[in-house]
């Protein structure tokens, strides 16, 4: 009834290639952005902003990066956290060794470093595929973690092997409150999500998908394998690198290399599988599921802590989390993004499905 | 998106929880699932039991009832940050956090500074944080990693009949391949220079399940002692590998992360004779432990599911953590009055702890942990470590309380603090002006 | 003396490799029979070992406890097939992979909920003591583990290549639908494979558990099995053992002889680099099945 596209005509090519072709979608996104940019920073509590939303956004960005590589280009990777680490440590060193460098530029350069490293570790993908490649990217994960722990230079010889973020400002505005940190993160994530959406729709995105669906066939129709695959690695690592820099600087402030261990890589992978492989929206839905669900379960569990032992509850939460992953996969094997799409289809014909 | 909505409403609901006027809120960021649950359950069990004990025995501190709430961190940094944010403003504001995790402590250090909530990093965390001028809200109470490292070397000195006899001895530092593991290398190097022993650093890649090549190297090097800087599963794996190459366990000395029942039991017979440092002794002989058992467990309000774990190392550490927390509240109340205090006021209390022999007697903790006297600059307050030997069933003390070699640690702390304050472009506190 | 040391490192590495193979075997079994990379293998190792020591702690004798745990693992396998895999037949491998991730959370929670979080020691009655062969020390325990590993591999390799059931398993791995259409009972097959994988997890759990103690960290031994798996190929039982030997010996020799040049502690990433080098030459692993691609 409300979600219907009849009567909406496209009269120009620009309108036809818009991201949101339906007026209701445009309205929904506008409302969502208004909520995210205006309402939440004003009304959200510290806990909501810096305990939930900032980590959610940052991990969404990492998931987005992995989704470009895995979802669109079809190259399974278990090294996302390592590329996040490169972004974080590179940003730190740019700011430390070139005093006066603006924060945004340092984060951008950190992302570029991650992209470079990503390309280096992407080279084997030209020969190796599937789970073999996934485990091969583990080489990147362990090697990079080792380098940052082993060589003191990267942490400025900090005795405890951690990097500490200096005071931050963007265009002269100090980034020191939860609201300002949240807005900075949100702006970066929104921009990069838009860029990702457009890349996915452009020729490069189509080339990636061709390679994903069948690389031999893609090569036959003239898609340059080397360039396309490595570009996927570079862009994906750039996204992860920026996410890592935000994680270290905006979210935590002080961080050691172990914050980017294998578990983080797996966590990011879980997000895209649960959310939807090859979907921008899915990256966000998946991050929400993986980040927020355990917290919700823990909050719910707290309600019973007088009657049931916390030990039991904590384990029950973990079991429920695992169970829910399986449940959602059985309900919709293609991820939450697909569920969302189905819901929209249903809404189109509601309330008269025939 | 609807998931977010649920979380939002849940979050808003919980944060708007009712603040009770006359309560002092203590957050319990526990870990009861995952790899470290065996230690976490006992540690936080001990801490909660002590808080309940104070409530039941004295009706709280100065008439202000202690309340607490748990939040599961799973020993993960991001979950820890979430717990910190969830609990920091609850019920009149958090008193102080003790995460029992170096990673989570780093992840919350900046926030705590801003929110003016102290972090208790009893025995762990950043070693240089004992300098309260740079780390106003971080408290590595009793003993920092660096203090323990110097104590370990001094303990070896006692074993060979005096520090002068260490000259020419060979010692291997077997460390966990992480920031945590590497942290004591500079201190040990300085000790080696000071006492003229030969020191070799050998890294075990994290998590340390496999140590064959490292122990073969150790056997080839034929050291007199091995200093173990281990964590989690690395401890039993090291002991088993030592047995395999025939290295005597009596010559292995670990820091306190390797010194609980869990670490030794996992290695079975191979652990017999092995030595580890400690800042809180185990056992039920202390009056405070007996009183908790009588009062709290007698009323059926104990937190442990199995009473048999009362008096284990991790449980007693938790009790000590509770004691230090409560004593800090007590100290702060003396200055600010018996009412609900905020984090900054508790910080003052933690900076003015004075648990001397007399107070220890009153608390029933004599010899359970060393005397603690903190100040604006000294956030450690003690620096003593005691060494225990595993006899196959129990930890038995094999040394007195050994004081840290401050001649070695203080210059290192100063250098590290200078670098930190420069990176953060911050000014050190002037402790003389605050008196 | 130097060559003796070299030999010791080499032999120690080979024997450690067998321990890795034991864990890798569980992966191979399930991958072979369902094309799934079973993320929950580590959780199964933990669950098996924890169940065994907990049952034993109730005063049940060793062999009975072993049997009971085995029954439990088979039951678990059947349960997994019913609840998790059957609704996901014909789904892409990545979905099945994710399902096993959910499973690993579930199993870890279950294991600690039912049996508690405490650390247990485990003694199999084989002392982990050195044993002198012409100046080279070899651990008795490692030899025992190697014998167990070798026997398992031989039995499983025979099972897959010689029995009807084994061949049916391989057909299932190639294509669920095609296998079902030629009359292979998919559900029985999967239940059996998960049961056998549970048995392998139990063996790995006992051997690793007696070395590290039975505790949550047992799930971490999986990390050591992954390079073995890529090197040997996901689908090859003998590959798991050969891969284990190469990785074990390779990483120990590298740590001792290359490590000092870069500061040591390279054992974590070296095996992956080694495996990567092998893969560049043979992209399907040493013994993996070759796929011919057609457009």
B236 & B292 share domain? no
Tell me B427's DSSP state: P
Q: Which domain holds residue B28?
A: 21-143+282-382
Domain residue extents for chain A? 43-262
| Residue contact B15–A47, C-beta within 8 A | yes
Q: What is the mean pLDDT of residues B264-291?
A: 93
| Residue contact B213–C217, C-beta within 8 A | no
Can you point out the beta strands (E) in A66-172? 162-164, 169-170
Q: What is the mean pLDDT of residues B364-370?
A: 93
pLDDT band at B433 (very low <50, low <70, confident <90, very high): confident
B296 & B272 share domain? no
In a domain, B7, yes or no: no
pLDDT at B8: 46
B122 & B199 share domain? no
pLDDT at B12: 44
pLDDT at B4: 46
In a domain, C290, yes or no: no
Token duo for residue B33: 């699932």
In a domain, B423, yes or no: no
Domains in chain C: how many in total?
1
Instruction: Give yes or no for residue A316 having a pLDDT over 70.
Output: yes
User: Is the minimum CB–CB distance between B252 and chain A shorter than 8 Å?
Assistant: no
**In b/e form, how buried is each residue of B360-383, taking b as 16+ CB within 10 angstroms?**
beebebbebbbbbebebbbbbbbb
| Residue contact C212–B236, C-beta within 8 A | yes
Residues facing residue C133 across a β-bridge: C136
Q: Which of C155, C186, C156 lies closest to C171, judged by CA?
A: C186
Give the closest of C84, C101, C272 to A139, CB-based.
C272
In a domain, B84, yes or no: yes
In a domain, C292, yes or no: no
Domains in chain B: how many in total?
2
B131 & B243 share domain? no
In a domain, C268, yes or no: yes
Q: How far apart are CA A60 and CA A279, in angstroms?
A: 12
B258 & B299 share domain? no
Q: Would you mind telling me the total number of residues written for chain A in this entry?
A: 354
B70 & B86 share domain? yes
Residues facing residue B64 across a β-bridge: B61
pLDDT at B340: 93
All residues of chain A having their beta carbon less than 8 Å from the beta carbon of residue C276 are: 124, 128, 136, 139
The neighbour count for residue B160, using CB atoms within 10 Å, is: 15
| Residue contact A324–C102, C-beta within 8 A | yes
**In b/e form, how buried is each residue of C111-123, taking b as 16+ CB within 10 angstroms?**
bbbebbbbbbbbe
The phi, psi pair for B68, rounded to 5°, reads -145, 160
How confident is the model over B173-183, as pLDDT tens digits? 999 988 888 88
Q: How far apart are CA A187 and CA A41, in angstroms?
A: 12
B377 & B400 share domain? no
B227 & B313 share domain? no
How confident is the model over B186-238, as pLDDT tens digits? 999 999 999 999 999 999 988 888 898 899 899 889 999 999 999 889 999 99
Supply the DSSP string of A220-252, one letter for each residue. Answer: HTT--HHHHHHHHHHHHHHHHHHHHHHIIIIII
| Residue contact A146–B177, C-beta within 8 A | yes
pLDDT at A1: 62
User: Is the minimum CB–CB distance between B179 and chain C shorter than 8 Å?
Assistant: no
Q: How far apart are CA C19 and CA C245, in angstroms?
A: 9
B153 & B233 share domain? yes
Q: How far is CA A353 from the centre of its chain?
A: 36
Give the SS3 label for residue B69.
strand
Q: How far is CA B261 from the centre of its chain?
A: 16
Instruction: Give yes or no for residue B2 having a pLDDT over 50.
Output: no
Lowest mean pLDDT among A53-67, B241-255, C144-158: C144-158
pLDDT at A176: 85
Q: What is the mean pLDDT of chain A?
A: 89
How confident is the model over B72-84, as pLDDT tens digits? 998 888 889 999 9
Instruction: Give yes or no for residue B329 having a pLDDT over 50.
Output: yes
pLDDT band at B273 (very low <50, low <70, confident <90, very high): very high
Instruction: Give yes or no for residue B358 having a pLDDT over 60.
Output: yes
Q: How far apart are CA A172 and CA C99, in angstroms?
A: 48
CA dihedral (C93, C98, C102, C105) positive or negative = positive
All residues of chain B having their beta carbon less than 8 Å from the beta carbon of residue C118 are: 38, 262
Q: Which domain holds residue C277?
A: 2-281
How confident is the model over A127-172, as pLDDT tens digits? 888 777 887 788 899 999 999 988 889 988 887 788 888 888 888 8
Token duo for residue C19: 């321990």
| Residue contact C119–B265, C-beta within 8 A | yes
Q: Which of A287, A286, A311, A291 lies closest to A301, judged by CA?
A: A311
Instruction: Give yes or no for residue A3 having a pLDDT over 80.
Output: no
In a domain, C294, yes or no: no
In a domain, C138, yes or no: yes
In a domain, C36, yes or no: yes
Instruction: Give yes or no for residue B137 having a pLDDT over 90.
Output: yes
Give the SS3 label for residue A173.
strand
B360 & B399 share domain? no
Task: Kindly tell me the number of DSSP H helices and DSSP E strands found in chain B.
Answer: 16, 14
Query: Going residue by residue through chain C (295 aa), what tens digit of pLDDT does each one get?
Result: 678 889 888 988 998 899 899 999 999 888 887 778 888 999 999 999 999 999 998 999 999 999 999 999 989 988 988 898 888 877 888 888 889 989 999 999 999 889 988 888 888 877 767 777 777 778 888 888 889 888 988 888 888 788 888 888 777 777 778 888 888 887 788 888 888 889 999 999 999 998 888 988 888 888 888 889 888 888 888 888 899 999 999 999 999 898 888 878 888 899 998 888 888 888 877 777 666 666 6
The neighbour count for residue C257, using CB atoms within 10 Å, is: 12
pLDDT at C294: 65
Instruction: Give yes or no for residue B27 having a pLDDT over 90.
Output: yes
All residues of chain C having their beta carbon less than 8 Å from the beta carbon of residue A272 are: none
In a domain, C17, yes or no: yes
In a domain, C9, yes or no: yes
Q: How far apart are CA A41 and CA A178, in angstroms?
A: 8
B268 & B397 share domain? yes
User: Is the minimum CB–CB distance between A28 and chain C shorter than 8 Å?
Assistant: no
CATH number at residue B181: 3.40.50.2300
pLDDT at C3: 83
User: Is the minimum CB–CB distance between C214 and chain B shorter than 8 Å?
Assistant: yes
CATH number at residue C122: 1.10.3470
């Amino acid at each position: 009834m409300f979600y219907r596209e009849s009567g909406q005509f496209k009269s120009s090519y620009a309108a036809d290639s818009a991201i949101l072709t339906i007026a209701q979608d445009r309205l929904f996104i506008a409302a969502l952005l208004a909520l995210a940019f205006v309402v939440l920073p004003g009304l959200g509590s510290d806990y909501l902003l810096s305990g939930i939303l900032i980590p959610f956004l940052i991990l969404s960005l990492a998931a987005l990066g992995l989704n470009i590589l895995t979802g669109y280009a079809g190259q399974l990777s278990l090294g996302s956290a390592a590329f996040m680490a490169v972004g974080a440590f590179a940003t730190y060193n740019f700011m430390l060794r070139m005093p006066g460098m603006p924060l945004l530029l340092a984060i951008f350069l950190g992302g570029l470093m991650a992209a470079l490293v990503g390309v280096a570790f992407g080279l084997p993908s030209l020969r190796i595929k599937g789970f073999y490649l996934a485990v091969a990217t583990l080489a990147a994960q362990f090697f990079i973690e080792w380098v940052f722990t082993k060589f003191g230079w990267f942490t400025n010889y900090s005795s405890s092997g951690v990097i500490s973020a200096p005071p931050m400002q963007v265009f002269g505005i100090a980034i020191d409150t939860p609201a300002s940190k949240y807005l900075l993160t949100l702006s970066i994530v929104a921009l990069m999500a838009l860029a990702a959406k457009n890349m996915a729709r452009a020729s490069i995105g189509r080339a990636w998908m061709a390679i994903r669906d069948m690389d031999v066939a893609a090569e036959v129709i003239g898609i340059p394998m080397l360039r396309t695959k490595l570009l996927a690695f570079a862009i994906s690592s750039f996204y992860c690198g920026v996410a890592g820099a935000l994680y270290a600087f905006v979210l935590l402030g002080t961080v050691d290399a172990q914050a980017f261990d294998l578990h983080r890589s797996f966590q990011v992978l879980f997000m895209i599988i649960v959310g939807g492989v090859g979907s921008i929206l899915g990256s966000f839905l998946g991050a929400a599921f993986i980040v927020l669900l355990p917290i919700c379960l823990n909050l719910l569990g707290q309600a019973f802590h007088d009657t049931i032992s916390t030990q039991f509850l904590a384990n029950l939460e973990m079991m429920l989390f695992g169970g829910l992953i399986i449940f959602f996969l059985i309900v919709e094997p293609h991820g939450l993004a697909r569920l969302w799409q189905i819901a929209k289809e249903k809404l189109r014909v509601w309330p008269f499905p025939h | 998106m609807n998931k977010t909505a649920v979380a939002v409403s849940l979050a808003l609901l919980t944060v708007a929880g009712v603040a009770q006027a006359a309560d002092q809120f203590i957050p319990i960021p526990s870990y009861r699932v995952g790899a470290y649950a065996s230690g976490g359950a006992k540690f936080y069990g001990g801490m909660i039991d002590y808080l309940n004990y104070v409530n039941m025995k004295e009706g709280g501190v100065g008439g202000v009832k202690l309340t607490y709430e748990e939040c599961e961190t799973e020993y993960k940094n991001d979950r820890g940050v979430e717990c910190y944010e969830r609990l920091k403003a609850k019920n009149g504001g958090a008193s102080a956090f003790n995460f029992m995790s170096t990673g989570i402590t780093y992840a919350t250090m900046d926030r705590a500074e801003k929110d003016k909530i102290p972090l208790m990093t009893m025995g762990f965390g950043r070693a240089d944080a004992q300098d309260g001028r740079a780390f106003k809200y971080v408290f590595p109470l009793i003993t920092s990693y660096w203090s323990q490292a110097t104590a370990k070397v001094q303990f070896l000195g006692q074993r060979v009949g005096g520090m002068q006899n260490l000259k020419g001895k060979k010692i291997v530092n077997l460390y966990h391949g992480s920031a945590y593991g590497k942290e004591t290398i500079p201190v040990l190097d300085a000790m080696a220079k000071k006492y003229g022993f030969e020191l070799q650093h050998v890294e075990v890649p994290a998590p340390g399940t496999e140590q064959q090549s490292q122990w073969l190297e150790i056997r080839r090097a034929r050291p007199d002692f091995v200093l173990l800087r281990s964590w989690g599963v690395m401890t039993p794996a090291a002991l088993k590998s030592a047995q395999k190459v025939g290295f005597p366990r009596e010559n292995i000395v670990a820091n306190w992360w390797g010194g609980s029942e869990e670490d030794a039991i996992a290695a079975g017979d191979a652990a017999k004779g092995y030595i580890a440092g400690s800042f809180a002794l185990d056992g039920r002989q202390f009056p405070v432990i007996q009183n908790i058992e009588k009062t709290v467990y007698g009323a059926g309000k104990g937190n442990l599911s199995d009473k048999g774990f009362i008096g284990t190392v991790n449980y007693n550490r938790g009790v000590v953590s509770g004691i230090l927390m409560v004593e800090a509240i007590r100290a702060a109340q003396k200055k600010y009055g018996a009412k609900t205090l905020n984090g900054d006021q508790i910080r003052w209390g933690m900076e003015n702890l004075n648990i001397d022999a007399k107070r220890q007697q009153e608390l029933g903790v004599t010899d359970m942990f060393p005397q603690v006297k903190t100040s604006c600059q000294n956030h450690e307050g003690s620096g003593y470590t005691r060494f225990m030997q595993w006899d196959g069933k129990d930890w038995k003390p094999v040394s007195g309380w050994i004081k840290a070699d401050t001649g070695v640690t203080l210059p290192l702390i100063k250098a590290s603090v200078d670098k930190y304050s420069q990176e953060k472009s911050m000014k050190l506190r002037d402790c003389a002006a605050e008196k | 003396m130097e060559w003796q040391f070299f030999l010791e490192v080499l032999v120690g590495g080979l024997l450690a490799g067998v321990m890795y193979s034991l864990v890798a075997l569980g992966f191979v079994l399930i991958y072979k029979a369902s094309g799934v990379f079973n993320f929950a293998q580590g959780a199964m190792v933990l669950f098996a070992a924890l169940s065994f020591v907990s049952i034993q702690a109730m005063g049940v004798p060793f062999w009975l406890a072993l049997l009971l745990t085995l029954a439990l693992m088979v039951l678990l396998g059947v349960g997994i097939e019913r609840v998790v895999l059957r609704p996901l037949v014909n789904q892409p491998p990545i979905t099945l992979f994710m399902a096993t991730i959910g499973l690993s959370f579930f199993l870890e929670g279950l294991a600690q909920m039912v049996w508690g979080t405490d650390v247990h020691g485990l003694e199999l009655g084989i002392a982990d003591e050195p044993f002198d062969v012409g100046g080279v020390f070899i651990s008795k325990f490692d030899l025992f583990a190697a014998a167990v590993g070798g026997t398992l591999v031989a039995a499983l390799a025979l099972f897959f290549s010689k029995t009807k059931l084994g061949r049916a398993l391989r057909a299932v791995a190639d294509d669920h639908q095609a296998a079902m259409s030629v009359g292979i009972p998919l559900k029985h097959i999967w239940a059996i494979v998960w049961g056998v994988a549970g048995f392998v997890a139990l063996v790995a759990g006992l051997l690793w558990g007696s070395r590290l103690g039975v505790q949550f960290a047992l799930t971490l031994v999986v990390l050591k099995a992954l390079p073995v798996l890529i090197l040997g190929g996901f689908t090859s039982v003998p590959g798991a053992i050969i891969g284990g030997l190469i990785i074990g010996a390779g990483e120990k020799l590298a740590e001792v002889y290359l490590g000092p040049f870069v500061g040591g502690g390279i054992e974590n990433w070296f095996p992956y680099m080694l495996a990567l080098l092998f893969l560049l030459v043979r992209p399907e692993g040493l013994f993996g099945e070759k796929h011919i691609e057609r457009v």
